[in-house]
Amino acid sequence: MFQWATYQLKAGALQFVTYIVIVIALLLSMLLLYTHLNVKFMAQGKAQIEAIRLAENSIIRCLHEDFDGNDSLVLTSGENTFVSIKTTPWGIFDLVIAKSRIRDKSFEKSALIGGKTPLDIDLALCIQDHAQALQVAGNTSINGNAYVGRYGIKPGQIKGRYYTNDKLVYGEIIPTLGFPELKPEKENHLNNLQDYYSKENQNPVFFDLSQTSQLSQSFFKPAKYFYASEPVFLFSKQLSGHIIIQSGQHIYVDASNQLKDVVLIAPEITIGPDFKGQIQAVATQTLSVGTGVDLDYPSALVITPKRHSENKLPQLHIAQDCKIKGSIAYLKGDLSLPGQNAHSHVFVGESTKVYGQIYSSYNLELKGTVYGHVLANQFLTEHEGNIYINHLLDTRIIAQPVSAEFGGLLFNQNQVVSWMY
């Protein structure tokens, strides 16, 4: 009995050892599997990070190279790495989409590309040289560098309103060496924007605006496009992303709409009072902005003037108490007007604040405040029925852009305006 019990004890010990060996083997297998998966996940994570970095670097590269507005390029292509970029115009900006792949990991990144502040970072003002001084009156204040004609700036008066500040310019007064010009291909694109999306090679995806109250379109997908030959009235629409709305006559937008990143194209565009949103509006005849409108960065209001059969002057009119973050531009178009023409082409009302830039190829009547810079052919001020050429009255221009990364009209140096989705 004693020997048999001893034998049973040894068998149990062997069974226990076998169990321990199996447990250890399972633990080692799990450890090896964990190590393998961890290495794999780290490699995948690293590949994903590299793919993201490649896509972002490709867009940054676009800032330093002169890509055409409709380029599609493969930057690198190999067994484990692929990077490509595609650029297309989007209003006053260029939309850049970068695609990258590292092994089995891919990534897409998109951004709007605009232009840096021209001339210098502290630019407040630049006007053409019309062989007469810029006269400042009342509580006008220019904070930043001013590029003006050979006769400079001098204090003046309008109806007894004399200049009241200590200095003419709180910065440097620099002779104008030339008026900054937009990139020719960008100006040409804007001047022909009314016909751009009708070209066969654009192939936009059409949608029915009358049947759509809410729409969001990613910039990684083709643009959603609506066109009507008759006037378009927008009420209670929620539209965002890669969306274009065009009319052959007139677009009206009221305060009930929620619009973000949308491009509006028409001969005449009216933005009703108290509207809030982020849009680009490009017109050829009139662009009217009502009282209390609030446009977020990077919005744009643009006139590309066309000759009118009734000899009507195209005008960009912004009422009082507005807040515009972005760019306001009146391009040359096909007008040919004398420099002393006594009509305002761009009008900015009292108490309106512009955070960004104003660019006018013709006359600018500025009654509000600009935090950024103003580029104009010349100023015009109407006061009590009289018109004063190259005068400013109670105007503030402060070289303080909306952000350090501000980008506006495309001049010579590019800037990322906004990262898109």
Question: Mind listing the pLDDT tens digit for each residue in 376-393?
Answer: 999 999 988 889 999 999
Question: Rounded mean pLDDT of 358-380?
Answer: 95
- Distance between CA atoms of 356 and 115, rounded to whole angstroms? 12
- Rounded to the nearest integer, the mean pLDDT of the chain is 86
Where does the pLDDT of residue 339 fall: very low under 50, low under 70, confident under 90, or very high at 90 and above? very low
Question: Rounded mean pLDDT of 190-195?
Answer: 87
Question: Rounded mean pLDDT of 323-343?
Answer: 80
Q: Hey, is 56 helix, strand or coil?
A: helix
Number of alpha helices (DSSP H) and beta strands (DSSP E) in the chain: 3, 31
Q: How far apart are the first and last CA of the chain?
A: 83
DSSP 182-193: --HHHHHHHHTH
- Taking the CA of residue 303 as centre, how many other CA atoms within 13 Å lie in the half-sphere pointing to its CB? 31
> What digits encode the pLDDT tens for the residues 274-310?
999 999 999 999 999 999 999 999 999 999 998 765 6
- 312, pLDDT greater than 90: no
- 195, pLDDT greater than 70: yes
CA 127 to chain CA centroid, nearest Å: 24
Say if residues 383 and 364 touch (Cβ distance below 8 Å).
no
Q: What is the pLDDT of residue 414?
A: 87
Question: Rounded mean pLDDT of 53-60?
Answer: 77
Instruction: Give 159: exposed, middle or buried? Use CB within 10 Å, 0-12, 13-18, 19+.
Output: exposed
> What digits encode the pLDDT tens for the residues 76-133?
655 677 778 888 899 999 999 888 877 777 778 889 999 988 888 899 999 999 889 9
